[in-house]
Amino acid sequence: MKLNEFKPLELASTAHHLRASKLQGASELLTHDYALWQGKIEGLLKLLPNIPLFDLVVSSPPYNIGKEYEIPQTLEKYLQWQEQIIDELVPRLKPGGSLCWQVGTYVDDNQIWPLDIEFAPIFKRHGLQLRNRIVWHFGHGLHAQKRFSGRYEVVLWYTKTQSSKDKYTFNLDIVRVPAKYPGKKHFKGPNQGEFSGNPLGKNPEDVWNIPNVKGNHVEKTDHPCQFPVGLIERLVLSLTNPGDLVFDPFAGVASAGVAAALHARRFWGCELNSGYAKTGHKRLQETLDGTIRYRPHNKPVYDHTQSSLSRAPEGYKTEGRE
């Protein structure tokens, strides 16, 4: 899609909070442009019609690392549980649609299992085609003592296609980023002397440096590991078109919904925890009202060397160490 092809759509301006506990079902969800369904995804998938519904499924499932919303289980059992959910999601993804699974690393007894490696065979069994393994790099996290500190997670981007002839949505121009050398020119050939780069900028590549939501990040809520909206914004813009339906089965505080609503895509999410669902619903409504605060995907990362705190105190020896 070219930038000027965007046409405003008539989408609803109200977000709905539906509750499994009140027996609010899929028939109600199906009537809304923006809704969070509070309950287990396993339950919702039993209620939803088994037909292609979603243009983009994007989620970060629990990683089985002992967060407050997880019941720890063996990696094998965890993957079996996830596979049952993926088995139900894939038939509901439209042909040519995209599925993005954002995962980190499972750690046990100081050994690491990068979860994208574990998930890849599950998606392959469904015949999905892997388009990118995006490395999401961020600057803050725990300081490890017995291995190098982890500073990236992965987004596996699959399309529901079978051959290279099958079409899928990929809007590159709208997510281009500033080129390193926009002033570079062709130095020979028929275009000699003309600028050689794309005036819209360069492909953002497959390593994305987007700050994670910690401390005083403008998007911080009480959720311990929410998506930065910018991470999903870039996926929503490039992998869907206005009016498309985005679905997050583990929606947390609806960061994917914020990204979708910001750009006139519809959104349904499912979240088990009532507090997160409530916050998610509020954020969705704030987005529709135009009052949400968020950090866009193309905002440059803060240059920490500009801070006075980045100057090493006297006596610190950090340069030239072998």
Ligand X SMILES: C[S@@+](CC[C@H](N)C(=O)[O-])C[C@H]1O[C@@H](n2cnc3c(N)ncnc32)[C@H](O)[C@@H]1O
| 9-17, 112-120, 144-152, 221-229 -> range binding ligand X (CB under 6 A) | 221-229
Residue type, 256: A
Of 47 and 200, nearer to ligand X (C-beta) is 47
Angle at 103 between CA 101 and CA 108, to 5 degrees: 145
CB of 174 to ligand X, least distance (A): 22
Q: Which uninterrupted H or E stretch holds 155?
A: strand 152-159
| 129-137, 149-157, 246-254, 281-289 -> range binding ligand X (CB under 6 A) | 246-254
C-alpha to C-alpha distance for 315 and 322, rounded to whole angstroms: 17
169 binds ligand X (CB under 6 A): no
Instruction: Write the CB contacts of 281 (distance below 8 Å, at least 6 apart in sequence).
Output: 15, 16, 17, 36, 254
Position with the least CB separation from ligand X: 252
State the DSSP string of 55-117: EEEEE----SS--TT-----HHHHHHHHHHHHHHHGGGEEEEEEEEEEE-EEEETTEEEEHHH
The size of the interface with ligand X (CB under 6 A), counted in residues, is 19
Binding ligand X by CB under 6 A: which of 99, 246, 252, 260?
Answer: 252
Handedness of CA 192, 193, 194, 198 (dihedral sign): positive
Site for ligand X in 147-166 (CB under 6 A): none
Of 104 and 161, nearer to ligand X (C-beta) is 104
60 binds ligand X (CB under 6 A): yes
Q: Work out the burial of residue 122: count CB atoms within 10 Å of its CB; fewer than 13 is exposed, 13-18 middle, 19 or more buried.
A: middle
Binding ligand X by CB under 6 A: which of 159, 161, 255, 285?
Answer: 255
271 binds ligand X (CB under 6 A): yes
279 binds ligand X (CB under 6 A): no
Site for ligand X in 40-59 (CB under 6 A): 40-42
What is the contact surface with ligand X in residues (CB under 6 A)?
40-42, 60, 62, 69, 223, 225-227, 250, 252-253, 255, 270-273, 276
